[in-house]
Amino acid sequence: MNVTELKIEKFESFLLDVPTIRPHILSMATMHSQTIVLLRITFSDGTVGLGEASTIGGLAYGDESPEGIKVSLDSYFAPLLLNQPYKSVGGTMLRINKNIVGNRFAKNAIEIALMDAMGHRLGVPVSELLGGRIVDHIPVLWVLASGDLSKDIAEAEEMIASRRHNVFKIKIGKRSVDQDVAHVAAIKQALGDAASIRVDVNQAWTRWQANRGSAMLADAGIDLIEQPLRHDDIEGMKQLVQQGRIAIMADESVQGPKIAFDMTTAYSADVYSIKIAQSGGLSEAARVASIVSISGAAPYGGTMLEPHIGTVASAQLFSTFPSLEWGTELFAPLLLKEQYVNETLDYVDFGLTVPNSPGLGISLDEDKVSYFSRK
């Protein structure tokens, strides 16, 4: 079948609720499970593409929720795509963006599915549709988010011994600055040079707290602070960068290419978390990464705690980056008690091996999808 004759014949979305292996504590929420929007698009040639969207703590983190994403997909995106002539991923995403404002997470799920299907159709991994991979293995950190000091240290030591992770991010911001710094410093002291320690404040600090906390964390040997201030406090972030005490990462602030351009030209971060969902899709995330790299800042592979499909889609993109100095945080599949895909991702030697099969290289375990689907 000629690609110009293709149509999308089926557009299916599902809500899955999958429990986590332990409570995942952030400054704004505590997660005991992850809700996932699973998307399956079937083309008239029989090709199937899988997409996925998830948020962190429902609406506690951002302005999109899994339930809202599903409603938007079914009510607005599906009528725009079903039984319409399909020519290309880019052309379809352009039509979507002309007709639907915002909804970056939903758009990302669709573009993942479109690229997955195209990869299957052409017999190449998604990375080849994004310029071609440079590496087959990318570094991945682990988040220590139990909030319990002894548990966090034991968990990190186990990860180092098994060569699964040797870089750790610690969620802080719920307690006082002194309490948080004491907790983080104790972990760093226990692990020593065997591990790199970073912290994620998730916008919880005021400028005064950030100034004080950054100095204390630098003295404790911590390598990086992620999003210490509100996402819109670009000037405050810039001031922290200018102090030069410790690397500052922007995360929640980075909501697409335009904001990335504004922040990089203002020198408002040393490192930028590239998230495909937060950017509005793989193509937009690639644009963000290009802007960051051209500015001289460092791109970092972020996550919205997307499990297997979103993680592999992110990994396909990140494998095309010329540099990943600060690595990635594509650990979300390991946070779930069970998986709903047939493939087990290869986490080895402190990182993730990027699948090399056509498309994403992921297929669904239909029994598990049915089991975890919200009825």
Which residues are the active-site residues?
171
> What is the phi/psi pair of residue 112, to 5°?
-55, -50
Q: Are 296 and 323 in contact (CB under 8 A)?
A: no
CB-side exposure of 108: number of CA atoms within 13 Å?
A: 34
d(CA 286, CA 230): 24
Helices (H), 44-169: 66-72, 78-81, 89-99, 104-122, 149-161
d(CA 274, CA 38): 21
Can you say how many angstroms the Cα of residue 32 is from the centroid of all Cα atoms in its chain? Answer: 18
- Nearest Cα neighbor of 146 from 187, 178, 177, 188 is 187
Contacts with 366 (C-beta within 8 Å, 6 or more apart), sequence order: none
